[in-house]
Amino acid sequence: MNWLRRVCRPLPRTLFSRSSLRHPCSGGRRGNCALIVGAFLIGSRGRRSGFAPHLSGFPSVSYSTGLVSVEQENAMKALELFISTEKDESISVKEICTIYIEKLCRSGNLSDAAYLLRHLHSRDINVCLNTYNSLLTAIVESNNFSLFSEVFKSLLISNLPPDITSYNKVAEAFQKVADSDLVVNFIKDVCDITFGKDPTVINRIIFVAAKFGQIDKSLMIFKMLKNLDSKVDTVTFNTVLAILGKAGRINEMMAEFMVMKDLGHIPDMITYSTLINCLRRLGRLDLCKTIANEMLEHGFEMDLLTSTAIVDVYGRAGHVEDALGTFEEMKKSQHPSVYAYRSVISDLKRAGKFELALRLSAEMNSSTTKLAGPEDFKQKRKSRWKIKQVG
């Protein structure tokens, strides 16, 4: 039963507050811990040094040891009993522990489930991501942000990459938090845990928070990152530009675009396309043309969404020749959209160029099967979403 003893050897209390986070290379503290062998508690006041799991690639966080609470002792005993009563030898220890933790989630024993997840990780027994997500879901429903914060940080420490469900739960948890200091402390801890890595986790938190209507919290996080000199990248700025543009906050969007360039983050195709589409939708045709020209000067080729937007911008501004020229360039590299055709035809009619408008109308009708339609636009938007998530 060595594996049972390995599983049930208790984890010293993990302190996730920033005040207790220590670098693993700074030396472990001595502290009180307990050791359970079989069903008996031995040495509840015994001392051990360095009784903390080593976390590779973890520059600023470590565990400190402390007394194991009565509740945690009971949770360990209950897990041991559950494991010992499992008769099916084909089921692995990991599967048994997963079943038990999910049982705790269903019964509402969320603190015990959170403790056992940390404990099992310290014993190199990692449950699957779905189990973490189940616990996060249950905690959001119970409206306990402190426990939610602890479990999400445990997930990051486990080196399991959170998925969209995990991030959606962060956004849902934010919706129930009125105290911005709780969010700030949570983000600071996440930054500590992900220190030295790319800012993917923070980028996704910013994105999903805004997606769930928490725009102010998204922008607060972004501002905090800049004040802390935390690592941000082009994806971070692209996400914030899209949030500001969608909210109609043009001046702030353009200001952040300038900051982005001043800090040395090179705008990419998504940056320019985001700006152009937001400015077009908000009627800022002058700025839209300026950004389009800058994009072309930097050697970017316009994609379907951007080309269609530029054709529309030139047409609305009365620059029919520019709209027509952009449209003809568009046809050389991709199938034009039906929207672009209709926009140019409408522009030509307003300019009195009826013969050319009729020719393009006939061309559009004869090639309907080759035109980019609504589904193509949906696919483009989905691909951009994936880029933001991967970035």
pLDDT digits (tens, 9 = 90+) for 297-325: 998 887 888 888 888 888 888 888 888 98
For residue 32, give the H/E element and its range: strand 30-32
* Residue keyed to tokens 């009826």: 354
For the record, the structure tokens of 284 come out as 């800022």
pLDDT digits (tens, 9 = 90+) for 8-29: 554 444 333 443 333 333 333 3
**Is 359 domain-assigned?**
yes
The per-residue b/e assignment along 84-106, b for 16 or more CB within 10 angstroms, e otherwise, is: eeeeeeeeebeebbbebbbebbe
The last residue of one of the domains, among 136, 160, 184, is 160
Decide the pairing of beta strands 30-32 and 35-37.
unpaired
Q: Give the residue numbers spanning the domain of 316.
A: 301-391
**Is 131 domain-assigned?**
yes
Residue 132 CA to residue 151 CA, distance in Å, equals 8
pTM (two decimals)? 0.74
**Is 255 domain-assigned?**
no
User: In the beta sheet, which residues pair with residue 30?
Assistant: 49
**Is 205 domain-assigned?**
no
Tally of domains within the chain = 2
Please tell me whether residue 114 adopts helix, strand or coil conformation: helix
Residue 11 CA: distances (Å) to CA of 31, 67, 90, 111, 280: 12, 10, 27, 14, 57
**Is 73 domain-assigned?**
yes
Residue 391 CA to residue 237 CA, distance in Å, equals 11
**Is 53 domain-assigned?**
yes
**Is 180 domain-assigned?**
no
**Is 337 domain-assigned?**
yes
Considering 35-49, 67-81, 103-117, 161-175, the range whose residues carry the highest mean pLDDT is 161-175
The last residue of one of the domains, among 160, 177, 205, is 160
Residue 366 pLDDT: 85
Residue 268 pLDDT: 94
Please tell me whether residue 317 adopts helix, strand or coil conformation: coil
Instruction: Please report how many Cα atoms fall inside a 13 Å half-sphere around the Cα of residue 318, on the Cβ side.
Output: 0
Q: How confident is the model at residue 83 (pLDDT cuts 50, 70, 90)?
A: confident
CB atoms within 10 A of CB 138: 23
Residue 90 pLDDT: 78
Rounded percentage of the chain residues whose pLDDT exceeds 90: 43
The last residue of one of the domains, among 140, 160, 180, is 160
Closest CA to 131 of 144, 142, 123, 120: 120
Residue 250 CA to residue 295 CA, distance in Å, equals 18
Rounded-to-5 percentages of helix, strand, coil across the chain: 65, 5, 30
